[in-house]
Amino acid sequence: MAKVKLYELAAAAGGVGLEFTLRDLDLIGSSAKRAVYLDDDGDRLVFHGKGFSFDGNGYLTAGRVERAIFKDENNELYADYRDLEIRGTKVGGFFEGEVTSPLMQEMNKGADVFHGSRQGEYISSGSGKDRIFGERGNDHISGGIGSDWLKGGRGSDEFDLITGSGKDTVVDFDATGGGLEQDYIGTYKHFADFTITKVGHALRVSLGDGDTLILQNVRRSDFGMEDFHFWEGA
């Protein structure tokens, strides 16, 4: 289970992966327990773990990565991934690619816990039963594959419901707050594609393919088309 903390810089960048291209990173410091990579813009990726060794390109060839820290040119944090268990050879292989997506997907596997920052950000987990805390700000939250527990926190938050998003539960969906506190379901589908069912004190919003959002403590009379954000092309 990875424990992930996102910081304000990640919010400003629209996500951690957009700021880092693995192939552009050069190894500038290394030991058996630590690897520091730097790109031309001064952004840093720091791995902590054990048993590290490296090839001539600076890619990991052995050991295990247990923590990954993303920083900017001023040494300010984008994100901190703890409690990882990724083979060094697998991480080294990701450096052959152009983007960070495979690395991010690997780090987001399993039942992880994500915490946002005081600003709004895009938080996307991977497979597994994840827990996402948006904290403050207007967050865009995507649980990914699996049955996830989602809490937007303060602000106007958007929760994805699309094909492949799984069966997730939102514990603090606000359908009545309006303005700065109103929450939304984000989708490229049409309103007619959804089935909305009252289940106890919750609403189940379902797509025909089995993907659902359970909105706890939301009344049917408070919920309708105005609680959706239909993306361009929907």
DSSP, residue by residue, 67-91: EEEEE-TTS-EEEEEES--EEHHHH
pTM of the predicted model, to two decimals?
Answer: 0.80
Half-sphere exposure of 149 (CA within 13 A, CB side): 9
Instruction: Determine the pLDDT at residue 52.
Output: 97
- Helix residue ranges, H only, 2-42: 8-13
User: Over its length of 234 residues, how does the chain's per-residue pLDDT go in tens digits?
Assistant: 688 887 765 655 556 655 677 878 899 999 999 999 998 888 899 999 999 999 999 999 999 999 999 888 888 888 899 999 999 999 988 887 666 778 887 887 777 888 887 777 788 877 778 899 988 888 889 887 888 999 999 889 999 998 888 899 999 999 987 777 899 999 999 999 999 999 999 999 998 778 999 999 999 999 999 999 998 765
Q: What is the pLDDT of residue 169?
A: 96
Tell me what pLDDT residue 25 has.
Answer: 87
H or E stretch covering 219: none
What is the pLDDT, as a whole number, of residue 142?
87
pLDDT of 107 reads 85
pLDDT at 78 (0 to 100):
84
> Which residues does 64 contact at the CB level (< 8 Å), separation at least 6?
49, 50, 51, 85, 86, 87, 88
User: Which residue is associated with the tokens 């919010």?
Assistant: 11
